[in-house]
């Protein structure tokens, strides 16, 4: 059960409500986010919701039977749209492209990518400066200095910065330069990182774990929400299966499933999802037609020279073509 409380409710009244719920066998967790205050109630006996609704300080009450609560669509029926500013939004009613290199490599690369995105009306750029790599000897990113450079070039053109945070200790330093914190597949269940991202007032793009179930993904999103951050974007990026023909198996079933179960926006990452450049456009289009609210695509002016994930990275020419196709398909989807 989720109870929405009056925003500025006195602590004593909140305590009385929690005590009353305690007598009904519920344990309660108080959640205060950027936009509201809630009590998440777990366990308990069958309760007549009207009994709760009439308590002083209660605005609204909903029964939610899912294991995840605040991210469930059973509670919030209206889909969540996240506003990144400067006209860039993510959520139902649009298909938002987030494109850019796997890794930020140089000023020249960032400038060329930003110019390319602006020319194509793409308002958000991805690019890692702290890279999770399977080998410690691979390129690990340009770090905070690289992020500062990325951010100043992108923001000069009002392009939003989407970048991965690897560890909770990096959040404060990264904060001024980031518009969306990306949580990578390998950190999808790093609960201390999720807890800390719950305390920031910036959107979080949460990727599905390498072998993560959708329930686990939604529970991870619940961690962020329960700590106070409602701005979460779910990302399907392919899972590990027995199939070895491509890097991962892009699970497009996840898109309609997540959209049905949660009010949060869902984006698809076809680049990591299939891992083979020539198949990326098809899978990006398939993601859109599966109902995604956006796509995360790796692009580079010279993919063959990329310092990471070049094999799945589109050239500018290929990206240009894909962006046009996505626009056309979005119009068809909206008919």
Give the C-alpha separation, 226 to 198, whole Å.
7
Q: Nearest approach, Cβ of 216 to Mn ion (angstroms)? A: 21
Alpha carbons 310 and 108: distance in angstroms, whole number:
17
Give the shortest CB-128-to-ligand PEP separation in angstroms: 5
CB of 138 to ligand PEP, least distance (A): 11
Structure tokens at 277: 């450049």
Contact 320, 293 (CB under 8 A): no
Alpha carbons 211 and 154: distance in angstroms, whole number: 33
Nearer to ligand PEP, 52 or 166 (CB): 166
- Residue 207 partner contact from ligand PEP, Mn ion, none using kind-dependent CB cut-offs of 5 to 8 Å: ligand PEP
102 part of the interface to Mn ion, by CB under 5 A:
yes
Q: How far is the CB of 131 from Mn ion (least distance, A)?
A: 8
Using the minimum distance from each CB to ligand PEP, give the nearer residue, 146 or 184.
184
What does the alpha-carbon distance between residue 321 and residue 62 come to, in Å, rounded to a whole number?
46
- How far is residue 199's CA from residue 32's CA, in Å, rounded to a whole number? 10
Rounded to a whole number of angstroms, the minimum distance from the CB of residue 157 to ligand PEP is: 22
Closer to ligand PEP by Cβ: residue 185 or 288: 185
Find which of Mn ion, ligand PEP, none residue 212 binds, CB within 5 to 8 Å per kind. none
If contact means CB under 5 to 8 A according to the sort of partner, which of ligand PEP, Mn ion, none does residue 261 touch?
Answer: none
Handedness of CA 149, 155, 161, 166 (dihedral sign): positive
Closer Cβ to ligand PEP, 52 or 185, answer by number: 185
185: partner contacted, choices Mn ion, ligand PEP, none (Cβ within 5-8 A by kind): ligand PEP
Q: In whole angstroms, how close is the CB of 79 to ligand PEP at the nearest point?
A: 23
Nearest to 184, CA basis, from 132, 135, 230, 141:
132
Query: Cα separations (Å) of 64 from 11, 27, 77, 302?
Result: 25, 15, 12, 49
Partner touching 184 among Mn ion, ligand PEP, none, CB below 5 to 8 Å by kind: ligand PEP
Q: Please identify which residue in 196, 236, 293, 309 interacts with Mn ion, judged by CB under 5 A.
A: 309
Is the Cβ of residue 138 or residue 241 nearer to Mn ion in the bound state? 138
Residues that bind ligand PEP (CB under 6 A): 102, 128, 132, 184-186, 207, 237, 272
Which 3 state secondary structure label does DSSP give 84? strand
E strand spans, 86-240: 88-90, 96-100, 124-126, 160-164, 180-183, 204-207, 232-236
132 binds, among ligand PEP, Mn ion, none (CB under 5 to 8 A by kind): ligand PEP
Q: Which is nearer to ligand PEP, 3 or 233 (CB)?
A: 233
Q: Which of 58, 65, 61 is nearest to 42 (CA)?
A: 65
- Please state whether 238 falls in left (phi above 0), alpha (psi between -120 and 50) or beta: left
Does 164 sit near Mn ion (CB under 5 A)? no
Judged by beta carbon, residue 196 or residue 309, the one nearer Mn ion is 309
**CB of residue 50 to Mn ion, shortest distance in Å:** 51
Min dist. Cβ of residue 104 to ligand PEP (A): 11
Size of the site for Mn ion (CB under 5 A): 2
- CA of 297: how far to CAs of 115, 169, 241, 308, in Å? 16, 27, 22, 14
Our CB check for Mn ion shows the closer of 2 and 250 to be: 250
**Site residues, Mn ion (CB under 5 A):** 102, 309
């Amino acid at each position: 059960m989720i109870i929405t409380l009056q925003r500025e409710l006195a602590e004593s009244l909140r305590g009385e409500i929690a005590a009353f719920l305690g007598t009904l066998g519920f344990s309660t967790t108080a959640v205060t986010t950027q936009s509201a205050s809630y009590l998440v109630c777990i366990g308990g006996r069958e309760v007549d919701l009207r009994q709760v609704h009439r308590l002083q300080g209660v605005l609204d009450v909903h029964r939610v039977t899912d294991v995840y609560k605040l991210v469930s669509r059973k509670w919030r029926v209206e889909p969540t749209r996240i506003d990144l500013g400067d006209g860039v939004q993510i959520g139902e009613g649009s298909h938002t492209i987030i494109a850019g290199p796997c890794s930020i490599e140089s000023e020249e690369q960032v400038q060329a990518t930003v110019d390319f995105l602006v020319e194509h009306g793409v308002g958000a750029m991805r690019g890692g400066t702290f890279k999770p790599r399977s080998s410690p000897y691979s390129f690990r990113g340009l770090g905070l200095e690289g992020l500062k450079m990325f951010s100043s070039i992108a923001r000069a053109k009002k392009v939003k910065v989407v970048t991965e945070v690897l560890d909770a200790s990096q959040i404060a330093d990264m904060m001024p330069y980031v518009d969306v914190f990306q949580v990578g597949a390998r950190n999808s269940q790093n609960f201390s990182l999720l807890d800390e991202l719950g305390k920031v007032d910036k959107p979080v793009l949460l990727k599905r774990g390498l072998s993560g179930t959708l329930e686990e993904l939604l529970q991870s999103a619940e961690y962020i929400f329960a700590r106070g951050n409602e701005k979460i974007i779910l990302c399907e990026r392919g899972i590990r299966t027995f199939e070895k023909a491509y890097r991962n198996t892009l699970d497009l079933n996840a898109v309609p499933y997540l959209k049905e179960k949660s009010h949060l926006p869902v984006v698809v990452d076809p680049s990591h999802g299939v891992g083979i450049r020539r198949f990326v456009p098809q899978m990006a289009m398939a993601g859109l037609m599966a109902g995604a609210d956006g796509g995360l695509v790796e692009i580079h002016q010279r993919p063959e020279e990329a310092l990471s994930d070049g094999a799945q990275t589109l050239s500018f020419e290929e990206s240009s073509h894909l962006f046009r196709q996505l626009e056309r398909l979005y119009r068809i989807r909206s008919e």
